[in-house]
A and B are shown apart, each in its own frame.
Chain A
Amino acid sequence: MDIRDLQGYGSFFMTIFLVVMLYGYIIHLYRSEKKGERDYEKYGRIALDDEVTSTPVEDKPASERENEKENK
């Protein structure tokens, strides 16, 4: 088998692998929403309610922000 064949097979299996990953991701998105673990649609609101003073849709923990301030 020369390098050309290897490249061809490499590309083929990589494609299959990535397709599986992508479908896995779709399933993951819908399943975690169905199980009530995540609500993806709420993130759409980030664009609508985007004043600097608005409450974040998902808050960054206060502790994390404080740490960063101290590090500055």
Chain B
Amino acid sequence: MQANAALEYDYSLAKKFTFLTILFGFLGMLVGTIIAAQMAFPELNYLLGEYGTFSRLRPIHTNTVVFGFTVSAIFATWFYVGQRVLKVSMAESRFLMVIGNIQFWLYFIGALLATISLLFGISSSKEYAQYEWPFDIVVVIVWVLWGFNIMGLIGIRREKALYISVWYYLACFLGISMLYLFNNMAIPTYFATEGLGNIFHSVSMYSGTNDALVQWWYGHNAVAFGFTVPIVAMIYYFLPKESGQAIYSYKLSLLSFWGLMFVYLWAGSHHLLWSTVPDWMQTMGSAFSIVLILPSWGSAINMLLTMKGEWNQVTENPLIKFMVLASTFYMLSTIEGPIQAIKSVNAIAHFTDWIPGHVHDGVLGWVVFMVMASIFHMAPRMFKREIYSRKLMEVQFWLQTTAVVLYFTSMWIAGITQGMMWRAVDEYGNLMYSFIDTVTVLHPYYTIRALSGVMYLTGFLMFAYNIYKTMTAGRELSEEPQFRTPMA
């Protein structure tokens, strides 16, 4: 390599996917805030005819934040971290660049069309798997192209050892491939009936209890391989790099990696407690969910211990603050999940607002915080400019932290209230409350959640503005910062 002294990392794909992350993040959270407001003020359902109802918008929210925002962020950080830890530039392979660009455009157009399809009510009605079969095919092609890129980059790497983040990206790639394919197996009715029915319609290959099992094996592991594994990949790179401290224990990171892989795949049946799936399977789901605390906290503690002796950085560097908060929220949601998976707790928690409460302390506190921190770290390196405003970052941090706390506390109270009211009986064994009684009681909490949505979304806009200003008006840097991200 000495021959080519000017070789540099090529961030063009990382940049493109960063833009998409911000775009889809904004859209997804905007819709999230709208549906949160609809829960509090039902009149808001009727503003746009069928296109504005909760039932149309909810899948748009979930799919946009999962397949739009999070997946873009996974791609963006991969095209940044992948090169760096393998010590090879994308620019060294025309082939990989071309594949990467096809992946980008196909993904961008596919994701937009898929979102529009949901708006028109084209849906296979399986949670987080609503996209109909033509879009599934696009998803598969995009994913395979990404696979080419991962394997290709690994193939031409200079660093022989694969850094732990690469393991996690690989697991994300393999895990999602397997889950997505199996859960979305379906027969397009149009072709099976020689031209009857709608071309966008299909029938799942599973039915009844089997369908439920495959669906929640998928649903739960989408959390594992979409919201956990790639985000851990990010923090294992960005936290050490930003703080200048190597991972506290590399061995622990390997161990928790295999622990996660081994345990997560068996926990999905905790979504089906008290349902018609075999009893032993429910018990297994509960048991594995509790064991899951160990590898999850193994990773989280490893991240926090990485800051050992350097805790002053938390006050000095807002980026470190974002990441430390993210790993703290990771710990919170990975203790909360196992608690909800205990059968007796689940009897109260299931179907209540406590579940979205749990989802969002994970996604808002852990996923989005870590993604934003990653982008804040990458921006000065990609655009060769200092972060535009540290003050704005601080305000954003506190605004969004408050929003997360408001979201999950209101949903905890709402969920447990709901669960208790549903099962309350009087001395003769009659139900004490009708459904509408619970709705009336929950109204204030829904309002608080809607408010928290507005706050969180505002924070996200501040983030987007900060990145935009960094790109266009940040002070130019003469050389790439080594560890700490420079900010004005």
Contact = CB atoms under 8 A, between A and B. Distances in A.
B255 A47 contact: no
Contacts of A30: 251
A29 B164 CA distance: 15
B251 A68 contact: no
A11 B339 CA distance: 23
Interface string A20-50: 0010011001100100000011111111101
B254 A40 contact: yes
A17 to B, nearest CB: 11
B241 A47 contact: yes
Contact of B161 (A4, A11, A43): A43
A52 B250 contact: no
Interface stretch (B1-9, B311-319, B357-365, B400-408): B1-9
A46 B258 contact: no
Contacts, number: 97
Contacts of B85: 46-47, 50
Instruction: Give the residue among B159, B163, B284 with the most A Cβ atoms within 10 A.
Output: B159
**Chain A interface main SS type:** helix
A70 interface: no
Given A4-B278, A25-B255, A44 B247 contact: yes
B31 to A, nearest CB: 35
B251 A41 contact: yes
A58 B160 contact: yes
Contact of A50 (B84, B251, B281): B84
Interface string B390-429: 0000000000000000000000000000000000000000
Contact of B236 (A47, A50, A65, A68): A47
Interface residues of A, number: 34
Contacts of B280: 8, 11
B317 to A, nearest CB: 16
A44 B159 contact: no
Contacts of B165: 47
Contact of B244 (A22, A48, A59): A48
Contact of B247 (A25, A47, A50, A53): A47
A58 B159 contact: yes
B16 interface: no
A63 interface: no
Nearest to B247: A44
A46 B161 contact: yes
A47 B259 CA distance: 22
A43 B284 contact: no
A15 B200 CA distance: 41
B237 interface: yes
A51 B1 CA distance: 12
Given A33-B251, A52-B87, A18 B262 contact: yes
Contacts of B237: 47
B484 interface: no
B158 A60 contact: yes
Contacts of B155: 68
Interface in B212-255: 236-237, 240-241, 244, 246-247, 249-251, 254-255
Given A22-B262, A44-B247, A48-B241, A56 B160 contact: yes
Interface of B: 1, 5, 7-9, 83-85, 87-89, 155-161, 163-165, 236-237, 240-241, 244, 246-247, 249-251, 254-255, 258-259, 262, 266, 278, 280-281, 284, 483
Given A11-B266, A47-B163, 7 more contacts: A46-B159, A47-B165, A47-B240, A48-B483, A52-B1, A56-B87, A57-B161
13 contacts: A11-B280, A11-B281, A43-B163, A46-B85, A47-B163, A47-B240, A47-B246, A48-B240, A51-B87, A53-B1, A54-B87, A58-B161, A60-B160
